Amino acid sequence: MYTYELDEEKVFNSGHNACPGCGEALAVRYVLNTMGPKTIGVVPPSCIAIICGPQPYSSMRIPVYQTTLEASAASAAGISRALKRQGKYDVNVLAMAGDGGTYDIGFQALSGAAERNEDMVYVCLDNEGYMNTGAQKSSSTPYLAVTSSTPGGKPSDKKDIAEIMAAHRIPYVATATVGYPDDLARKVAKARDMEGMRFIVVLTPCLDGWGVADDGAVRVSRLAVDTGFFPLYEVEDGERYTINHGPKGIPVERYLEQQKRYRHLDEEQVKEIQAGVDHRWRLLQARVEVAEGHAKAGPRTTNRMRGECT
Amino acid sequence: MSEVTRRPTAGPAAASPGEVPTIWTTGWTDVFNTGTWRAATPIHEWRPSPCHADCPIGNAIPGWIAHIAEGAFKEAWLSLVETNPFPAVTGRVCHHPCEGHCNREVIETVVGINGLEHFLGDRALEEGWALPAPGEPQGRRVAVVGGGPAGLSCAYHLRRLGYDVTVFEARDELGGLLRYGIPEYRLAARVVDAEISRLLDMGIEVRTGAGVADRAALEGLEEEFDVVFLAVGAQQAKTLRYLEEGAGAGRVLDGLEYLRRCTEGVARDLGGRMTVIGGGSAAMDVARSARRLGHQVTVVALEARAAMPAQPEEIEQALEEGVALFDGAMVAALTAGADGGLTLRCVKVTLDPGAPAGELRPVPVEGGEFAVAADVIVTAIGQDPDLAAFGDAFGGGLTVERALLVVDPTTFVTTRAGVFAGGDVACADRFVSEAIGAGRRAAFSIAEYLSHPAAVIPGRPALEDAVNRKEVNPFYFDVAERRERVVAPATERLHSFAEMISAYSTEDAGAEAGRCMSCGICVECDNCFVFCPDMAVQKDASRAGAEDASRVGAEGGAAAEAAAAVAGDPATEPAAAANRVAAAGRVAAAVAHAPGAPPGSGPFYFVLDQYCKGCGLCVTECPRGAVRLEEVNL
Amino acid sequence: MSATATPPRNSPPANEVQMADDVRMLLTGNHAVSYGAMRARPQVVPIYPITPQTPIAEKISDLQLAGDFDVDLMTAESEHSAMSACITASLTGVRVFTATASQGLMLMHEMLHYASGARAPIVMVNVNRTIGSPWGFWPDQTDSLAQRDTGWIQYYTENGQESLDTVIQAFKVAEEVLLPAMVIHEAFYISHALEPVTVPSQERVDAYLPPFDPPHKLDTEIGESWGNVVNQDMFYRHRKDLGAAMDRVLEASVRADAEYKDTMGRGYGILEKYRTEDADLLIVAFGAMVGTARVAVDMLRAAGKAVGLLKIKLFRPFPIDAVRAAVAGVPRLVVMERNFSPGGGGVLHQELKAALYGMPDPPAVHGYLAGVGGVNVSPKKMVELAEKALTDEPVPGSVWQR
């Protein structure tokens, strides 16, 4: 039987304002409670900012700075650099942004921080759209998903942020989801104990935005993994790929049918999405093979990003 | 994290007294009552598993299976004998309705509960484990009339409750149907002997060859004992009179008689060809015993094969052993055969679905006539209690209806004060486990009648209250094929009355027990705790152990601790303290209602009303339906 | 950086500023800023290059490489990110400096509000440059004036020495009132003009400017968070608090300048009156034009014209009382300024008129848009304009003059 062994510290607090059953709140729990109290957070406008709590109360028992939507990575860099100047090398810096603040408007700051290999853990809580403003599409919204700005279904594909970040050759990139909280916590812990830029994208179902039942966040995010829609994997130094959880032979339709945003799909469209899922899975496996080939070829010459901030 | 030390508010965030600073937070959101959003509340509680609901003995099956999975066989057995003192017997012969609604079906196949019981029963006999000691002496005496499964089960539970019990058995040996009605290859006499002997070790007096045959005898018992429990079984075989006339005269035997002869080793030469009439276990037993004695056997059963009361595997094995089966058929008439035998004129039938419950009303199928040749006919179509044989003995206040003693179905009280009855004498469900279950419930009823301070008649959970297939979460269970007991090949079986089914190996038992999903019984897997986005599910600190306070986990406490918390808590946290009290109350309530819960245990988790938003994630992610969502009454 | 004990290769020659005493150096205005910043000991400098600010960043880089300036220089990928990092670094409790110009300042605009709202005492130098479009590189104050509502203190300086000194003073004031401060000088006229500049000794600056120790910060031992959503009442009070802090800048600036003068021997005030005795007319100016105006005033006085100069150094907060006192009894003022707010005119012109409204016997105020876009305004031209202002009747709006 599958059981979870999770070691949490008390950082995330009850009484926050997330919707009942919120997948993102669950992700925040494992991100914060794994990062631990020796952490300073940065949060841009997002559902996470709402979860943070209204002044003068905070749901997070760490200092958190709420920045602008496009500035998370830069704001986190400012903290990280100030901490080092203060000699506080044992304090973690954690940015927690949504997909809008990561894939879209926050991307420049994120890419810049990655290039400089800023010392932070950047967690993108990806609910595939601007959910806090009423479910508009973002560049993370998947193909054909209905949002309030794509009522006929999104005509373009979801940006592959994990691959983009891996291409920055930062020390650590991972995908995770709340359906696999142990995997999520392990990745956060691993990232926490590394140095330089670490990036984790966490798929967090938005019950309202996706049209999922109150008790469905875990089920749906698990299906995202088990159908291969959102495989869980890690990339170290931009080249060493490890797949943690991949498709289990469940058709993607099982995932789509749980969500109102896909209710309009016809049979052909479902097939098209399945084909895309299959194709991306093959590509990912190919990357793993390439990485394994390199490993066999001999001692690894470093591909690692050098840091500006030391 | 230690509570942060906060400097006095100064600088730009300084506010007038009573004013909230406009920037820089000063506290935590746990002051908010987000629980008010809730429309439903999760309740942690022991819910019956379907196997438990289906068990005629009322056995809380997942509990002892969990012990087997841990390798704690003695604990498992002790848990099992809380309800059933004959696991080695029932592990062999129970019709195991427990497997009928097993939720494991959603993964692959039902759990081999009967096999696990078989394993545990045998392990106990091998190890010589003793049954629990009798309870505090009550100084009252109960006479149990009938040493079959119902009587012995009742004796067992009464003894455990502290009563002095004397069993009166008409025959020379105890066991009743177990000894005389089930062939050796299914239930070896040594098993019956061993389990009965272990039972008698509890200090039960036995008087064999001591049937209670008349009113005076009953009144004598009433004089000597505080209560009399009648469990004399159903000894009177039902007959088909039309077969015994004419050609059939002298060639028709009843099944009970035949099996008794087999058991006593005095089966005579009845002729080579036997036709057995009946579709139940007894019919199979007769047919298969006859095969072992070299008969050519044909079974004619009224029911279609799928509806036959015999267990599917019994039918399967009978066929393997060369028994010919005509199901959905009846013998319409009998004529003398040319070869000195009999010719059975049979016809295919269907059963009238409009017939009253419990009554079989066959409708012949047109053109379905066929003939079977036989030398002897054995009828195994059921038995009635032999009440007529007692004449007026039980007349005084006892009532008989439809060939059964009339009892209250819950209390087993007869219409005669101080006389209780149960088992086949009072019930038409003719299964060993039904009798054991009736004996158990009757024992508690008797104890209640005798004003035992702790006796409560055990209820039997309803299947509709049990955890169903939609309430278990298959994600958490890996596919694991069911282990099967080894059955000797048919060729081997035909040469011997030796037991033909081997118990699980220790390894198989462990693996099979590991397949149990423990439906409705919290195993403290933490899923409800893990998946709460509001940290509203907490663990009982008193049982979580003294963990590092900075770790998420132990919170609040058990009832006493919560009560202390109310008294001692600073006024800043009254809501949290109240929550702890509410939670502790819920724990206590759950313990009180836990069917078969281990003593001293209680739900490990409780829900903080102040924060629970009622999303139901804990319910959905509970692998086994041990958390239920209840709508909030506004 | 502290870790870099030995100077790396390619470092500049052993540095000229490793000195215990003040030194006199020939520096551009931008380099003067870099030295001023170095003396203030900021620990983090997030910065992004833009003409004509780049010499500031370059010089800081050189000073860092040479081991003279122990600073974490964060080469951000945009001004927006640079300012974002400035804010959080400041809130984490370290002193922060940065510099920008023109479009860079425009890109920062959003974060400028965040900085003042966060009460982060960042000091930033802005080198005034035209804002596109069209593209240009010329001195023009419109970029910084467009930020006057962002809650930043604004100082306008007239030469490199003043810029250097003001950077140090700005930290003192900013950290006292917890507001960010902008020190502004103009492209090329100041940023790239070489002048002799006194760089004060580190000891003296240290004596003047104590280490930064804010009352609130992002610190895991304190646990306070910044920026959680507020209600209307809290926002109202927050803005009111910010306004009160801004009001305190007037007195704090005067005091900081006086202390500086005591320590370093140089002071500027929040405004300056130059040859204003018995004046018929005061030229009111800020920024680089002040230097030109001094020459023009000298020329006018030599010609017997009673014309003086009022230099506005502190523009935000606008020193209304000091300005009123300075112009009391003067019949005419002429604002000459290098900026333009379309639909409004010269920004100083508007601000000055607003400041004088309701004053008994107020002076007549001329507003001349002289030098917008970097057009040169020579002393001779300024004399001409002053003479015109002495005779013309003032009109309500600003008048284009070249």
DSSP string computed for B142-210: EEEE--SHHHHHHHHHHHHTT-EEEEEESSSSS-THHHHTS-TTTS-HHHHHHHHHHHHTTT-EEEET-
CB-based contact (8 Å) between A9 and chain C?
A: no
Chain C residues in contact with B7 (beta carbon < 8 A):
215-216, 222
Between CA C216 and CA B25 the distance in angstroms is: 10
Residue range B89-118, pLDDT digits in tens = 999 999 999 999 999 999 999 999 999 999
C219–A63 C-beta distance less than 8 A? yes
A61–B21 C-beta distance less than 8 A? no
Q: Chains that contact C by 3+ CB pairs under 8 Å?
A: A, B
Q: In the block, which residue shows the tokens 């998947």?
A: A142
B29–A57 C-beta distance less than 8 A? yes
Name the residue facing A4 among B22, B33, B526 (closest C-beta). Answer: B526
C216–B13 C-beta distance less than 8 A? yes
Q: B559, B89 in Cβ contact below 8 A? A: no
Question: What is the CA C172 to chain-centroid distance, rounded?
Answer: 14
Nearest chain A alpha carbon to B535? A14
Angle, CA of C239, C241 and C246, to the nearest 5°? 95
For each of chain A's 310 residues, which pLDDT tens digit applies?
678 888 899 999 999 999 999 999 999 999 999 999 999 999 999 999 999 999 999 999 999 999 999 999 999 999 999 999 999 999 999 999 999 999 999 999 999 999 999 999 999 999 999 999 999 999 999 999 999 999 999 999 999 999 999 999 999 999 999 999 999 999 999 999 999 999 999 999 999 999 999 999 999 999 999 999 999 999 999 999 999 999 999 999 999 999 999 999 999 999 999 999 999 999 999 999 988 887 777 665 566 677 775 5
Chain A residues in contact with B572 (beta carbon < 8 A):
none
Chain A residues in contact with C223 (beta carbon < 8 A):
61-63
Strand partners, C47: C75
**If you count DSSP H runs as helices and E runs as strands, how many of each does chain A have, helices first?**
10, 9
Rounded to a whole number, what is the distance in Å from the CA of A309 to chain C's nearest CA?
A: 8
Q: Chains that contact B by 3+ CB pairs under 8 Å?
A: A, C
Question: What is the CA A16 to chain-centroid distance, rounded?
Answer: 21
A50–C219 C-beta distance less than 8 A? no
Rounded to a whole number, what is the distance in Å from the CA of C13 to chain B's nearest CA?
A: 44
Tell me the whole-structure pTM to 2 decimals.
0.87
B531–A20 C-beta distance less than 8 A? no
Nearest chain C alpha carbon to A77? C85
Collapsing DSSP states into helix, strand and coil, what is residue B343? strand
Chain A residues in contact with C78 (beta carbon < 8 A):
108-109, 112
Pick the closest to residue B495 from B348, B276, B288 (CA basis). B288
Strand partners, B371: B345
Name the residue facing B12 among C178, C221, C224 (closest C-beta). Answer: C178
Nearest chain C alpha carbon to B24? C226
Strand partners, B15: none
Residue B577: Cβ-neighbour burial (10 angstroms; 0-12, 13-18, 19+): buried
Pick the closest to residue B89 from B169, B199, B172 (CA basis). B199
Q: C96, C154 in Cβ contact below 8 A? A: no
* Start-to-end Cα distance in chain B: 38
Q: Which residue has the higher pLDDT, B210 or B52?
A: B52
Mutant choice from B24, B31, B550 vs C, greatest count of C C-beta within 10 A = B24
What share of chain A has pLDDT > 70, as a percent? 97
Nearest chain C alpha carbon to A106? C81
Residue range C150-167, pLDDT digits in tens = 999 999 999 999 999 999
Between CA A63 and CA C217 the distance in angstroms is: 9
Is B52's pLDDT higher than 50?
Answer: yes
Residues 6+ apart with CB under 8 A from B290: B258, B274, B276, B297, B378
Cβ neighbours around A279 below 10 Å, total: 10
Chain C residues in contact with A60 (beta carbon < 8 A):
225
Please state at what angle helix C232-264 crosses helix C160-177, rounded to 10 degrees.
130
From residue B361, give the alpha-carbon distance in Å to each of A197, B244, B282, B350, C298. Answer: 80, 21, 21, 8, 131
Q: A252, A228 in Cβ contact below 8 A? A: yes
Chain B residues in contact with C242 (beta carbon < 8 A):
12
Rounded to a whole number, what is the distance in Å from the CA of C152 to chain B's nearest CA?
A: 15
Residue B478: Cβ-neighbour burial (10 angstroms; 0-12, 13-18, 19+): exposed
Strand partners, B351: B362
Q: C164, C17 in Cβ contact below 8 A? A: no
Chain A residues in contact with C222 (beta carbon < 8 A):
63
DSSP state of A103: I
C80–A63 C-beta distance less than 8 A? no
Say if strands B537-540 and C271-274 run parallel, antiparallel, or are unpaired: unpaired
Residue range A59-100, pLDDT digits in tens = 999 999 999 999 999 999 999 999 999 999 999 999 999 999
Rounded to a whole number, what is the distance in Å from the CA of B518 to chain A's nearest CA?
A: 11
Nearest chain A alpha carbon to B610? A15
Is B6's pLDDT higher than 60?
Answer: no
Collapsing DSSP states into helix, strand and coil, what is residue B576? helix
CB-based contact (8 Å) between A192 and chain C?
A: no
DSSP A43-95: E-SSHHHHHH-BTTEESBSS-EEE--TT-HHHHHHHHHHHHHHTT-TT-EEEE
C223–B6 C-beta distance less than 8 A? yes
Rounded to a whole number, what is the distance in Å from the CA of B10 to chain C's nearest CA?
A: 6
Q: What average pLDDT score do residues B174-191 get? A: 92
ipTM for the predicted complex comes to 0.95
Chain B residues in contact with A55 (beta carbon < 8 A):
20-23, 25
Residues 6+ apart with CB under 8 A from C103: C50, C131, C132
